[in-house]
Amino acid sequence: MFGRLMPKEGKYFDLFNAHADLILQGGQALSGLIAALVDEPEKALAHAEEIDVLERKADEITHSTLAQLHTSFITPFDRDEIHQLINGMDDILDIIQDVAESMSLYDIHRVSPEAKLIAETTETCCGCVRSVVKLLHSMDNAPAILKLCHEIDELESDADRMLREAMSKVFREEPDVRQVIKLKEIYELLESVTDRCKDVAGTIEAIVLENS
């Protein structure tokens, strides 16, 4: 019943979906960047540049969404929830950009295969965020939405475990203390992408439980 009555004013769901598409593309670009640093370092720059473009596009969508909040009389759910959701989504791409920028700042040219696995998990997590956002237009999708939110939570736990394994290897095998410090920062930022995905899943889960 609620799904059929969901107000559509302001095209909020179009904005959410457009942002979610960028999140998936950002996850793919980040995974490509890390894979390049493992296997083909000369291709890393193109992925970093793509991430910058995607982050700027996402910022524009975020600003448009927040502007809609000031002009729309009817919103699909609570205004604070819309604000929290779109800002949480934007945080995902901000962290993805932070990873790319930090690699340039710290002059990182090589990472471990373990980092590649973390990046692949972040890409999967970003894909789940896109999928769950696409379902948000109708509370008839509540069971599928909650299932995806649970999958995101599990992926975050997987990434956290991979981070510990990657750092264990760095501490055992990397003799340069400065390199250890750099890689620790990069790996923690990389894993935090899944943390931001989990935050968005938590926001969506709260919206669903309140409105379905």
- Within-domain flag for 39: yes
Structural Rg of the chain based on CA atoms: 18
Does the residue 100 lie in any domain? yes
Dihedrals phi, psi of 8, to nearest 5 degrees: -110, 5
Domain assignment of residue 131, yes or no: yes
For the stretch 101-127, pLDDT in tens is 999 888 888 888 888 999 999 999 999
Q: Are 122 and 195 spatial neighbours (Cβ–Cβ below 8 Å)?
A: no
pTM score, two decimals?
Answer: 0.92
Judge whether 38 lies within some domain: yes
> Residue 194 burial (CB < 10 Å; 0-12/13-18/19+)?
buried
**Count: domains in the chain:** 1
Residue 200 lies in a domain: yes
Task: List the CATH number of the domain containing 158.
Answer: 1.20.58.220
Task: Give backbone dihedrals phi and psi of 85, rounded to 5 degrees, phi first.
Answer: -65, -50
pLDDT digits (tens, 9 = 90+) for 42-88: 788 899 999 999 999 999 999 999 998 888 778 888 899 999 999 99
Query: Could you tell me the two tokens for 205?
Result: 């889960």
* pLDDT one-digit tens code per residue, 145-154: 999 999 999 9
In a domain, 125, yes or no: yes
Extended strands (E) in the chain: none
Indicate whether 161 belongs to any domain: yes
Range of the domain at 200: 10-211
In a domain, 179, yes or no: yes
d(CA 212, CA 198): 21
Q: What number is the average pLDDT over the span 140-145?
A: 95
Determine contact, residues 167/121, Cβ cutoff 8 Å.
no
